[in-house]
């Protein structure tokens, strides 16, 4: 299975093609649109989300809300395109208007201009923008539907915002209680985090945090220890790192394991009395040797503060070569709830690809039958 996306932040829309889905999967448009609404929400979001009211539109590969086995095409339209079509229309537009040359530190602007031979950062930033993740969420929700048919579920929560950190450990069953305001599980910590966001907004600054992702119900043996490109942790971590603003990923204990002895890191194995085995701990985060071990998979991702600051940072105007202040554009102070939603979609998409590669099958019924047979 493969997902390809296209589209610009202020273009006509965002588009995705999903190749390799089996026939017979029911598409839940209400669930897709609910995820898109969640991505648009959260404390600290900017004015762009007051314009967009995202809804997914199925274009091909689906009939009567059921996949046909052919590539699935879908779109999320950009309502803001009406305000930008004189600048962004692919058929012809005023490319001199809204030209951006005061490149933003931390964004793709300067590197992209050099790489693609551009003199206007807009030709880079429109694609590099996290607006692209709207259609990734829509595609990921379709993949979630397939995983849940197999009894595999993915949820996450916001573990920290800036210096406000939730140090408690949670299991998958706890995550249903997460807030829809900021995605945290502890209301007192969330209130503190909101005050941090307010302080950043007042200063024209931005703030990031850490998100913890859980996968429940995946059976043993997905991924491989035989070739590095098939290692499950490598693939899932790459999926998370592919999301804008993610700068670090860990599995299980992650970096904390480097400061401990082996006896405090590895999960001892015990007979369960019925011919099977169990573990009393899950420090490995559900992955050993690049393969799922049947335990709950736990990953964490570090989101940097958004690189577009309303107060602007020192930079250079590439048109004149003179010192300048970075262009603000419209931006969020904190988009961590949106990021958590996107990370769920990224994991759903990549794990769906892993599962389908290993199980095969042209129909959903075949995929489900093969999954049930696994130990």
The pLDDT-based confidence of 217 (bands split at 50, 70, 90) is very high
Identify the pLDDT of residue 50.
58
Q: Which residues lie closer than 8 Å to 15 by C-beta, 6 or more apart?
A: 5, 6, 7, 73, 74, 75, 135
**What domains can be seen in the chain, in order of their start residue?**
2-373 (3.60.150.10)
On the CB side of 357, how many CA atoms lie within 13 Å of its CA? 17
The pLDDT-based confidence of 296 (bands split at 50, 70, 90) is very high
Percent of the chain exceeding pLDDT 90 equals 94
The pLDDT-based confidence of 309 (bands split at 50, 70, 90) is confident
pTM for the structure as a whole: 0.96
Coil vs helix vs strand at 11? coil
Q: Tell me what the pLDDT averaged over the chain comes to.
A: 96
Q: What angle do CA 155, 61, 56 make, to 5 degrees?
A: 50
Q: Is the pLDDT of residue 101 over 90?
A: yes
**What is the C-alpha to C-alpha distance for residues 40 and 347, in angstroms, rounded to an integer?**
19
Identify the pLDDT of residue 167.
97
Are 289 and 218 contacting, i.e. CB atoms less than 8 angstroms apart? no
What torsion, rounded to 10 degrees, do the Cα atoms 212, 215, 220, 222 define?
A: -90
Identify the pLDDT of residue 52.
67
Average pLDDT over residues 308-326: 93
Identify the pLDDT of residue 53.
84
DSSP state letter for 280: S
Identify the pLDDT of residue 48.
56
Q: Is the pLDDT of residue 49 over 60?
A: no
């Amino acid at each position: 299975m493969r997902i390809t996306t296209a589209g610009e932040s202020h273009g006509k829309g965002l588009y995705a093609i999903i190749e390799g889905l089996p026939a017979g999967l029911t598409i839940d448009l209400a669930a897709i649109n609910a995820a898109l609404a969640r991505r648009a929400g959260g404390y600290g979001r900017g004015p762009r989300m007051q314009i967009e009211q995202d809804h997914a539109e199925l274009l091909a590969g689906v009939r009567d809300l059921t996949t046909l086995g052919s590539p699935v095409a879908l779109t999320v339209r950009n309502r803001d395109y009406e305000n930008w079509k004189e600048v962004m229309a692919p058929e012809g537009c005023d490319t001199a208007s809204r030209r951006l040359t005061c490149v933003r530190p931390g964004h793709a602007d300067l590197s992209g201009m050099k790489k693609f031979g551009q003199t206007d950062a807009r030709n880079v930033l429109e694609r590099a923008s996290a607006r692209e993740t709207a259609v990734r969420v829509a595609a990921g929700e379709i993949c979630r539907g397939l995983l849940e048919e197999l009894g595999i579920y993915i949820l996450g929560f916001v573990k920290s915002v800036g210096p406000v950190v939730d140090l408690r450990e949670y299991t998958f069953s706890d995550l249903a209680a997460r807030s829809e305001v900021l995605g945290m599980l502890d209301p007192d910590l969330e209130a503190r985090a909101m005050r941090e966001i307010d302080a950043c907004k007042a200063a024209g600054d931005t703030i990031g945090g850490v998100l913890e992702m859980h996968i429940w119900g995946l059976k043993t043996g997905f991924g491989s220890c035989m070739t590095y490109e098939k290692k499950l942790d490598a693939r899932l971590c790459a999926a998370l790192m592919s999301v804008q603003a993610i700068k670090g990923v860990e599995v299980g204990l992650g970096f904390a394991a480097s400061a401990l002895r082996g006896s405090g890191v590895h999960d001892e194995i015990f007979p369960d009395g019925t011919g099977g085995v169990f573990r009393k701990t899950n420090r490995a985060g559900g992955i050993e040797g690049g393969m799922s071990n049947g335990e709950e998979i736990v990953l964490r991702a570090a989101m940097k503060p958004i690189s577009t600051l309303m107060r602007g940072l020192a930079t250079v105007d590439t048109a004149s070569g003179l010192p300048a202040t970075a262009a603000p554009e419209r931006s969020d102070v904190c988009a961590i709830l949106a990021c958590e939603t996107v990370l769920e979609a990224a994991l759903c998409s990549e794990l769906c690809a892993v599962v389908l590669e290993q199980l095969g099958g042209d129909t959903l019924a075949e995929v489900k039958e093969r999954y049930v047979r696994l130990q």
